[in-house]
Amino acid sequence: MKFVEEFRNEELAKSLVKRLQEFSRLNINIMEVCGTYTMSIFRYGIRDILPKNINLISGPGCPVCVTPQSYIDKALELASRKDVIITTFGDMMRVPGKKGSLLKKKADGADVRIVYSPMDAIKIAENNPNKKVIFLSVGFETTTPMTAITAIEAKKRNVNNLLFLTAHKIVPPAMEALVQDKELKLDGFLLPGHVSAIIGTKPYEFLSEKHNIPAVVTGFEPTDILQGINTLINMIYKKEHRRTNEYKRIVRTDGNAVAIEYLDKVFDVVDTRWRGIGLIPNSGYIFNKKFEEFDALNHFQMEYEEYDGSPGCKCGEILKGKITPLQCPLFKKACTPENPIGSCMVSSEGSCAAFYRYHSV
């Protein structure tokens, strides 16, 4: 595949690994805030080839993982209604709520359908005029513009039985919350590549300007990640605090202006709750006044409750990078991909799922 294979070149990767092995003096903590990086780093064995002093921490980079359990419980409550069809991305199906998962609900007879895009939910709504079709709209800035387009399209077509249960997250404020956590000693960030494709690199200015932390946005192939780490470590050694873009084939400084316009047109920015982290100011999107007719919570007069995790699950500390999954007493015992207790084990991009699949103990 073009723009993929070239960035998997073995010789280029070897040269980058050799360069990285020269950095062995300082203990360095790098956080990546993107589940797709987490998976790529494990898949290509990047943790194993880095010098031991470079510690890669997986941050809250997986939208499914950071969605509070109270959201899942609302989705399950709605799925129980006879007049509702739930539509969702596949990754949400197995996330455990207090009483089962969407997969269990479906097995019990609820109408829960997996879709590839929120636009598919419009078709389902048009074909089922007597039902309320609810799309579970979970995601970061990468995914949310498509929900905006879907809501605009539904309004245009007068589809009045389509609703969205939203848990849209905005990534930079969560990063700022982590930087301010004194227990975490972060030396640099690998910025989320595809979130940055939408928002650009300016929203991370606070890292260098307020907190003196360098950051690199990079791609997802092995040479991209190795080069990203290489650039970041060079900056850490030289005590430089810049933002660098190593993913220029996709990420522009100002992001995707059209996508940002769609977000501004349809959503308001609000404080929102992140699993394991709690309420973070200005870190979420909800429908604005013009589009609030699409909000499932408004429609059914419901509210999210203030809890976010499963009892005993250490997802919160794992998402903040304070412990690795190996330090959670449930990992590989009570909590496995077949029987997940926390969302980090459910999503294929969650830290626990990645450690389970790739890390031999």
Q: Quick one: which of 97, 139, 316, 342 contacts other proteins (CB under 8 A)?
A: 139
Joined together, the tokens standing for residue 107 give 């097995």
Write down the least CB distance from residue 135 to other proteins, Å. 11
DSSP state of 91: G
Write down the least CB distance from residue 153 to other proteins, Å. 9
Q: Quick one: which of 69, 201, 223, 283 contacts other proteins (CB under 8 A)?
A: 223
Examine residue 142 and tell whether it contacts other proteins (CB under 8 A).
yes
Examine residue 143 and tell whether it contacts other proteins (CB under 8 A).
yes
What residues between 69 and 128 interact with other proteins by CB under 8 A?
A: 89, 91, 116-120
Residue 37 C-alpha from the chain's centroid: 11
Total residues at interface with other proteins (CB under 8 A): 55
Residue 170 C-alpha from the chain's centroid: 9
Joined together, the tokens standing for residue 142 give 């990468």
How large is the angle between the packed helices 144-156 and 257-266, nearest 10 degrees?
Answer: 60
What residues between 259 and 298 interact with other proteins by CB under 8 A?
A: 259, 262
Site string for other proteins, 182-211 (x = CB under 8 A): ----------xxxx-xx-------------
Question: Are the C-beta atoms of 206 and 180 separated by less than 8 Å?
Answer: no
Residue 233 CB partners (closer than 8 Å, separation 6+): 20, 23, 28, 30, 54, 188
C-beta closer to other proteins: residue 265 or 332? 265
Query: In angstroms, rounded to a whole number, what is the distance separating the alpha carbons of residues 218 and 307?
Result: 34
Write down the least CB distance from residue 117 to other proteins, Å. 3
Query: In angstroms, rounded to a whole number, what is the distance separating the alpha carbons of residues 285 and 271?
Result: 8
Q: Quick one: which of 20, 28, 44, 63 contacts other proteins (CB under 8 A)?
A: 63
Place of tokens 């040269």: 15
C-beta closer to other proteins: residue 14 or 210? 14
The DSSP annotation for 38-90 comes to HHHHHHTTHHHHS-TTEEEEE-S--HHHHS-HHHHHHHHHHHT-TTEEEEE-G
C-beta closer to other proteins: residue 1 or 361? 1
Contact segment (CB under 8 A) with other proteins among 70-78, 125-133, 203-211, 241-249 equals 241-249
C-beta closer to other proteins: residue 57 or 92? 92
Instruction: Tell me the CA end-to-end span of the chain in Å, nearest whole number.
Output: 34
C-beta closer to other proteins: residue 156 or 182? 156
Examine residue 168 and tell whether it contacts other proteins (CB under 8 A).
no
C-beta closer to other proteins: residue 210 or 252? 252
Joined together, the tokens standing for residue 95 give 């996330």
Query: In angstroms, rounded to a whole number, what is the distance separating the alpha carbons of residues 94 and 345?
Result: 10
Place of tokens 């999954």: 325
Q: Quick one: which of 87, 101, 201, 227 contacts other proteins (CB under 8 A)?
A: 227
The sign of the CA dihedral 245, 248, 254, 256 is negative
Examine residue 248 and tell whether it contacts other proteins (CB under 8 A).
yes
Write down the least CB distance from residue 208 to other proteins, Å. 22
Question: Are the C-beta atoms of 315 and 275 separated by less than 8 Å?
Answer: yes
Residue 148 CB partners (closer than 8 Å, separation 6+): 262, 263, 265, 266, 267
What residues between 303 and 342 interact with other proteins by CB under 8 A?
A: none
In the complex, the residues that contact other proteins under the rule CB under 8 A are 1-4, 6-7, 9, 11-12, 14-16, 18-19, 34-36, 62-64, 89, 91, 116-120, 138-140, 142-143, 145-146, 149, 192-195, 197-198, 223, 227, 246, 248-252, 256, 258-259, 262, 347, 349
